[in-house]
A and B are shown apart, each in its own frame.
Chain A
Amino acid sequence: MNAIEIRNLTKSFRGMYALDGPDMTIPQGAIYGFIGENGSGKSTTEKCICGHLVPDRGKITLFGRPYTDAGVRARVGALIENAGCFPSSSVYNNLMMQAINLGLRDRKEQILRVLKIVRMEEHARLAFKKCSLGMKQRIGIAMALLGDPALLILDEPINGLDTDGMKLMREILVDITKNYGCTVLISSHILGELEKIATHYGIIRQGKMIREIAASEMEGRAQSYVSLKTGDIKAAFELLRGDYITEFAEGELRVFDVEDTGRLSAFLLQNGQTISEIKRHKIGLEEYYEECMRGEAN
């Protein structure tokens, strides 16, 4: 079953289309990395799923039910833009309000459980406004985690976090999908971080979904290349272009689909080329994203 299915969703603001009919399919249990430039429609899509925005047209189903179904929406947790907490209230009181809102019975235990997941047990009595940005993001996750959500929607949850905060957030997300069977839709600009956890990706541009791909599929498609800097880069290019796919980029020579780097360097050395730098690269999410964007732009 798919956790989220979106078909032909449109949403406009004052005649300007923020969403221009994107389709989206997120399998149950996935961590779906939602990628796009600023203003591409990521947050708008997420807000439509959460019922914060009213779509002009289109269909949204969550676990096979309409997104307006009270039963399914009671099992959605979201962190969109901010944690949605009252600044003067303590972390605990904010969580208590959410627990009451969700009609949880064992509220205290549930609050302690989510505080533990986000490593905030020791700060429960702190006023929300006194928390750091990283803590606020974690509280937002804790709010979203209350009530055993089947679907988590997180809008830029790692923005503004330091390296430790990002690592912690990554651990939390992997933990909740593995141990709590949650499906996660996460949008982020930090592709390197997303790449470490996502199982599926969706790339949106100008309100249109331009690519949806499973991480495993992307891995299979991903090319690797060797970057070279030699004494005479043009001569090296001439030597290699008969046997390899090569290109110049950023002052270096890129040689694709090289199985044996040692053999390549030996060949160049035998032909009088001095190698000053040689590195093997794998095309990751960032390059794939840029490639998709370039392809779409062309």
Chain B
Amino acid sequence: MTVAVNPTQTGEPLFYLADEHPHPEGYSTSLGFWIYLMSDCLIFAMLFAAFGVLGANYAAGPAPKDLFDLNLVAVNTSMLLLSSITYGFAMLTMQQNKIGQTQMWLAITGLFGAAFIGIELTEFAHMIHEGATPQRSAFLSAFFTLVGTHGLHVTCGLIWLVTLMVQVGKFGLIEANRRRLMCLSMFWHFLDVVWIGVFTFVYLLGVLR
């Protein structure tokens, strides 16, 4: 590492890269956030692997067929899909600098997301009421961990969404807020991608088994 030492006129060594040039604020945010999403993707992949290994170990307890109501899952899936497209509309109106419409679409996205979480929690409460708790069998432990982690992500996304609505309301569609909205857009669509895996491999294949 010889490049790090640059003697100045006074003879004191300075430790920095001579060819470092200034970057505009946030120029690497989208790549950094993408790499975060990829690491999150690995977390979900390992939870899917755990579910794939343990998903058939019912310990003489309830099986997916006894527990899952596919009509409810279909409604839940449509909630998340609708929230994805409304977030897309928020991004489009943001590009046109329409603050009011952006806020409206963000609010609608938030309502769909809240509906998703509400339906999921109702489903969980119903299962736990019937005795299908996470402690009941390896299948249910893996199920609650995987689906619960996804639900927790959506909840965090909702908190982030409300925070950004306050930010946009206070400071308008400044460059920093546009960057933040773009990151949340990636996060939100990513959660929808994970949900495709959940409803296919956990719910549909579970009922099919």
| A, B from the same assembly | no
